[in-house]
Structures are given as C-alpha cells and as structure tokens.
A and B are shown apart, each in its own frame.
Chain A
Amino acid sequence: MTRWGMVIDLDRCTGCGSCIAACHQENNLTAVGAPESTRDRGFHWLRLLREVSGSEREAKVRYLPQPCFHCDDPPCVRVCPVHATYLSEEGIVAQIYARCIGCRYCMAACPYNAKVFNWFEPEWPGEMRNKTNPDVSLRPKGVVEKCTFCHHRIVKAREEAAMQGREVEDGDVTPACAESCPAKAIAFGDLDDAESQVSQMSRSPRTFQLHDDLGTKPKVYYLAKTE
C-alpha cells in the first residue's frame, strides 16, 4: 500500500523560502497582508521554523521547512466532530472544505500548529484571480486548511501513468515545494516502497523527526548532521 512521505535535508536547506512561495502559488493561498500578519494571522501551509541555539556571540540559526507532517496517528483527525479531516488510505491527512464547520478543534489539537484558518474571505484583487491554480479548489471563509502534500499532483501523476499503462513510479510525483527548491533539499515519495528515495533517506543515520515522542507517527523526516 502506498504511504506518501517526505524527507527534508537540513544540511542542504539554505532557508531561502522559495518552497513557501511555490506552495502559495500552487495551492491558491492568498496574502493576508501586513496588518493581519501582526495579529498572528500569518497564513502558510509550509512555514520556516527558526531554531536558534548557541550563545549571543556565536548564535547558530537553523531553518526547518515545516509542512503538515501527515501523521499516521493524527491528533487532528481524532477530534474532528464532522469527519472533515481524515486519514486517507494512502496516508494523506485530507481536509474536506465543504464539510468543515470551522470549530477549529483540529487547530487546537495539532501539536505542530500545522493547520491554518480562513479568518476572512480570501480575496483575489483584480488580475490576481487569473493566477489561481485550476487544480486546487478555492476555500471560503470560516474553514480550516493545511498542506495536502500537493495531493492534486499525485492524482495527476496517477492519471498520466494510467494513460501510459503503468503504475506510478518513484520520482513521478513532486510537490511544489520539492520542485522549487534550488538546493534539492526536499524529497517526496512512497515510504512503503523500500526502493524509493524517501524510503532510503528516511533510514539514514542523520534522520530525526519533530516530537515523534508524542506518538503521532509523523511522515516527514529531517536529515541533519547534528540534531
């Protein structure tokens, strides 16, 4: 069975943020604007966590691109009152925008704060409306959303493979963040396929995960020489 996962190599990541820009573009995320951002309404499916360590003289900063981890035991799915967020058979924690009632329980329950909320109606002023990606639905105000591992690209890759009469192979599916990364720091694929790139990378000695001690079984792995 396919289990989609991601590996992010922090020794390659430069913190440039192009993954975030690509994600915004690909998934029709609006800009909330500066005033709203100062009210902690920043709206990103993929964010750059900044870990600062060391002393004042020798500060060490490390950037972690953090998407939704698509946990295999998701706390958000457990608490949703209406089956609006659920774990698909392929390991994607999906969101049904049309059913979400906006109670934000999943936001309160996620230990990684991976979910964001449409506090206002998303606006596409003027020409901006033309830049939306037709493969990804537009969300109304009052619903929760989050990173989908670019699920629409998975669907597209599957269709193309079917047209060519074959199965989806490793490397066929690339989420927008992985595609845009200039350092090729993000890899995506089937964790259940022992031969796939992500599978092999996830078994590297440099691997760690964020807060996997909570039992959420996240499917995003980080690689770093130092933890």
Chain B
Amino acid sequence: MANLQEPRWIFLLQVASVAMMWVFVLGIAGWILHLLNLSHELQDVLSASVGISIVAIPVFLTGASVLTYVFVGLRRGREKDPDD
C-alpha cells in the first residue's frame, strides 16, 4: 500500500463521528442533570437522582474518553508516511 493516508474527507468524517459520540454522551449527561433539577423542583426524593447521576455520568464519560483515546492514539501511532 503506497498511500498510507486516507483521503482528507474520510479523516473529517472520522472526526465528525467522534464529535457526534461526544454530543450523544454530553447530551445524556445533560439529560440526567435536567432530571435531577426537575426532581429538586418538584420536591421528589432527591437521593435517587443524585445516586444515579454519580454512577451513570462517569460511566458515559469514561466510554467516550476511551473511544477518543483510541482515535487519537491510533493517529499518533501511525508510522510517518515517507511521502509526508
């Protein structure tokens, strides 16, 4: 394989997919915080919401971080293209 770099537009698509994944994960985190706020407003039992937030949000953030780490790590770990 002489050309080790994929075309630019594919690279941008990859970055976009990672960005979309972050949008999803941050969306979920935001949603959970919204529900936490709602239960505070409605004087519902707060402890359950807080408990779930503390567990769920870090899980999602970890998943997104791992995926980003892989993406960045793979790009960094490439051998330099002699044509570069």
Interface size of A by Cβ–Cβ distance < 8 Å? 2
Residues 33-67 of chain B, each 1 if its beta carbon lies under 8 Å from chain A, else 0: 00000100010100000000000000000000000
Which A residue's beta carbon lies closest to that of B48? A78
CA distance A86 to B45 in the complex (A): 12
Chain A residue numbers with a CB within 8 Å of B42 are: 83, 86
B38 CB contacts on chain A under 8 angstroms: 83
Q: Which residue of A lies closest to B39 (CB)?
A: A83
Chain B hits for A83, CB < 8 A: 38, 42, 44
**CA A86 to CA B42, docked complex, whole Å:** 10
Chain B count of residues within 8 A CB distance of the other chain: 3
B-side interface mostly = loop
In the assembly, what is the distance between CA of A190 and CA of B42, in Å?
Answer: 24
Chain B residues in 8 Å Cβ range of A86: 42
The closest CB in chain B to the CB of A77 belongs to B44
**Distance A86 CA – B41 CA, assembled complex (angstroms):** 14
Distance in angstroms between the alpha carbons of A83 and B44 in the assembled complex: 10
Q: How far is the CA of A47 from the CA of B68 in the complex (A)?
A: 59
Report the nearest A residue to B42, measured CB to CB: A83
A residues 61-120 with Cβ under 8 Å of B? 83, 86
Inter-chain CA distance A86–B38, complex, in Å, is 14
In the bound assembly, the distance between CA atoms of A83 and B42 in angstroms comes to 9
**Complex interface residues of chain B between 6 and 51 (CB less than 8 A to chain A):** 38, 42, 44
- Assembly CA distance A47 to B44 (angstroms): 31
Nearest CB on A from B57, distance (A): 19
Q: How far is the CA of A139 from the CA of B79 in the complex (A)?
A: 66
A83–B39 alpha-carbon span in the complex (Å): 9
Instruction: Report Cα–Cα, A118/B44, bound state, in Å.
Output: 28
Shortest distance between the CB of B3 and any CB in chain A (Å): 53
Q: How far is the CA of A86 from the CA of B44 in the complex (A)?
A: 10
Interface residues of chain A, those whose CB is within 8 Å of chain B, are: 83, 86
Q: Which 4 A-B pairs have the closest CB atoms?
A: A83-B42, A83-B44, A86-B42, A83-B38
**Pairs A–B under 8 Å by Cβ, sample size 4:** A83-B38, A83-B42, A83-B44, A86-B42
